[in-house]
Amino acid sequence: MLELNSSDDSKKNSLKDPVCLNVGGEIYTTTLDTLTRCRDSMLGTMFTGQVPMLRDSCGNIFIDRDGKVFRYILNYLRSGSLDLPDGFTELALLRREADFFQIPRLLEEIRHYEVSVPLGLRGGPLGAIMIVKVDSKVRVLHFNLRHGPENYELRTCSVRAFTVDLFCTWRAFLGLLCERFSYRTPQGLNSPHLCRPRQNRLKLEWVPKPDELPQEQYDKQQYRGLTLSSPEVTWSDDMMNMHYSPCEITDMQGFLEELLKISLAEGFKVDLVSPDPADILNCTSLRLVKS
């Protein structure tokens, strides 16, 4: 049985420490100071008497939210830092609850955690398979180089087009790759997308710009480069700041090297290399399995 507190002033000020909460069936004991640490949050509004509260049959204040991750919200309000156990797998749920309780600083801490902790340590299916197939072709490009009015010179230039087809049963990992790799276009950096919304496939196609090819001609052909964004952490006034430095991928060996770094950090292991297992950076196909 749940009872609604009266909204008169005497009831609003009747809360005293310790405060007992029933959050989705989980019982917590805390203080008013902790619950009102963020005054503009939903909890701050509730426990400064601005909205009526429900109590269960034992007199505990009832909050109809997920009680499993509320302990981490409470710990954050108490200590001011996000302290999650190794292998924590409920980050999406915690983010949703922090958003409901309207605690911006906690949401920012969660975003930093997501970047700093490998995806594999946040959970992921053991035995996930990734298959990579790579290809490159040299194309000869003919173009006119303008020196002045009615003064053009016919030029020839070779460009190398790279193609990578990735299939992965762990869809979240493909999402991570879409975050780390970007296309460089005249409009700026654009993230790649999965082939189709319901498919676990990602196709990357790019053409590095040769030095002898003018930028105008490169853009005219609608070529695009590929970059890797590596997260870098800096500290200012005890605040962690995260920014990304894009690095150009100019050949297939460079791409495979970066892909392997990301994959191995997320718990994948190389299972099959073709055609030469001893020359992985010059392979045409690759299979990795998450362990």
Give pLDDT tens digits for 236-266: 555 555 556 789 999 999 999 999 999 998 8
Mean pLDDT of 211-237: 84
Q: Rounded to an integer, what distance in angstroms lies between the CA atom of residue 272 and that of residue 285?
A: 8
Q: Rounded to an integer, what distance in angstroms lies between the CA atom of residue 56 and that of residue 44?
A: 20
Predicted confidence (pLDDT) per residue in 119-162, tens digit: 655 566 889 999 999 999 999 999 888 877 877 788 899 999 99
pLDDT of 1 over the 80 cut: no
Predicted confidence (pLDDT) per residue in 42-74, tens digit: 898 888 888 888 899 898 999 999 898 999 999
Domain boundaries, the chain: 15-117, 128-230+244-290
pLDDT at 12: 42
pLDDT at 88: 76
pLDDT at 120: 58
pLDDT at 7: 41
Q: Rounded to an integer, what distance in angstroms lies between the CA atom of residue 163 and that of residue 109?
A: 37
* Confidence label for 205 from pLDDT (cuts 50, 70 and 90): very high
Query: Nearest 5°: CA angle at 12, between 11 and 13?
Result: 90
Strand pairing report for 181-185 and 151-168:
unpaired
Cα-trace Rg, the chain? 27
Q: Enter the tokens of residue 225.
A: 């480069």
Most confident of 7-11, 178-182, 237-241: 178-182
pLDDT of 234 over the 70 cut: no
pLDDT at 232: 62
pLDDT at 118: 66
Mean pLDDT of 161-165: 98
CATH 3.30.710.10 describes domain 15-117: yes
* pTM attached to this predicted model: 0.61
Cβ count near 215 (within 10 Å): 9
Predicted confidence (pLDDT) per residue in 169-178, tens digit: 998 899 889 9
**Cβ(166)–Cβ(131) under 8 Å?**
yes
Predicted confidence (pLDDT) per residue in 69-111, tens digit: 999 999 999 999 898 887 677 887 898 899 999 999 999 888 8
